Amino acid sequence: MSERLLARAAIYGALTLFAAFYLVPLAVVMLNSVRSTEDINHSSVIGLPSVYVWGNFAHTWSSYCIAEHCTGIQPYFWNSLRMVIPATVISTLLGALNGYSLALWRFRGDTLVFGIITLGVFLPEQMKLVPWAIVLRDLGLFNTISGLVLIHVIQGISFTTLFCRNYYVSIPADLLKAARIDGAGFFRIFWRIVLPLSPPILIVTVIWQFTGIWNEFLYGVTFSTGENQPVTAALIALSAQISQAPQYGQQSAAVLMAAAPTLLVYLFGGRYFVRGLTSGAVK
C-alpha cells in the first residue's frame, strides 16, 4: 500500500470517527423515540429497544400535554411553519434587493450603508431583547406569530444582504449598462436579469434563514406564550416536565419531529448550499 493511500485511509478513518462521535446523540434520541418509559427506566438511556413503541410519535403529535395544553406538539409545529415560511421568503427578497442596490447601483455612502446593515450580523441577540419588546408592545404584536415574523425578517436582512451583495458584485457591469441602454429601469433589471442569475445564492439564503429561524428559541420564549409559541419554545416547556413526569420515549419523539424540517432541508438542499457558497456567497 502506497504512502498516499495510507494517508487518505487515515484521513477518511479520522473523519468517519469524528462523524460517528458527532452523531451519537442523534442515534440515542432515535432509539429512545421507539422505547417505552419502563424500558428506559429499567435499563439505561443508552440502549437498544426491547420492544419497539411506534405509538410515541402519534401520542406526542396529538395528545402530549405541554404546559397544561394537551394538544401535542402539532399546533406549535404549525406555528413554526407559519412563522418561518413568510419570514424566510420576505427576508430573502429584501436581502436580494438590498444586495442588488449596493452591488450594482453604486451611490455616495453605499459602503457606509452596507456596513450599518451588516452590523446586525455581529450584535448579540440578548442586547436586542429590550428594543424588540418596546417595538412589539407599541405595534400591538406581542405574543403573536406576526410579531415573530417581523423580528426574523429584520434580523435576517443583515445576513441575506451580506450574502447577496457579495454574490452580485461578480455580475459584469456591462450587462447592466446594456440593459439601461435598452431602456430597462431599476426593478426591471432586477426581475428580468439579476434574479434569473440568482438561484445559487437564493438557495443559500433560504436554507440559512429557514434553519436559523426554525431553530431559534430566544425570541420565541421571550415574546410568545401558551398556544402562540413556536415548537422550539414548546420543547423547552416539555423538557421542564422531566422532573415531574419523565416520558423519555415521547420526549425523544417530540425532539425528532421538531428537528425533521431542518434535517430534510439539509438532506435535500445541502449540496446546493455548498455550491451557492462557492459561487460567491462568502469571499
- Domain of residue 193 covers 74-281
Residue 232: inside a domain: yes
Q: How confident is the model at residue 64 (pLDDT cuts 50, 70, 90)?
A: low
φ and ψ at residue 177, rounded to 5 degrees? -60, -40
pTM, entire model: 0.85
Q: What is the pLDDT of residue 28?
A: 87
Q: What is the pLDDT of residue 39?
A: 78
Q: Which tens digits make up the pLDDT trace of 94-105?
A: 999 999 999 888
Residue 90: inside a domain: yes
Q: How confident is the model at residue 186 (pLDDT cuts 50, 70, 90)?
A: confident
Residue 24: inside a domain: no
Residue 178: inside a domain: yes
Q: What is the pLDDT of residue 241?
A: 56
φ and ψ at residue 249, rounded to 5 degrees? -65, -45
Look-up: residue for cell 415560511? 85
Residue 140: inside a domain: yes
Q: How confident is the model over 171-190, as a mean pLDDT?
A: 85
CATH number of the domain residue 149 falls in:
1.10.3720.10
Of 8-12, 88-92, 135-139, 266-270, least confident by mean pLDDT is 266-270
Residue 153: inside a domain: yes
Rg over alpha carbons for the chain, rounded to the nearest Å, is: 23
Residue 32: inside a domain: no
Residue partners of 262: CB distance under 8 A and separation at least 6: 210, 211, 214, 215
Q: What share of the chain is helix, strand, coil (3-state, %, to 5)?
A: 75, 0, 25
Residue 6: inside a domain: no
Number of domains in the chain: 1
Q: How confident is the model over 164-189, as a mean pLDDT?
A: 86
Of 2-6, 7-11, 12-16, least confident by mean pLDDT is 2-6
Q: Which tens digits make up the pLDDT trace of 26-54?
A: 888 888 888 887 777 777 777 777 788 88
Q: How confident is the model at residue 137 (pLDDT cuts 50, 70, 90)?
A: very high
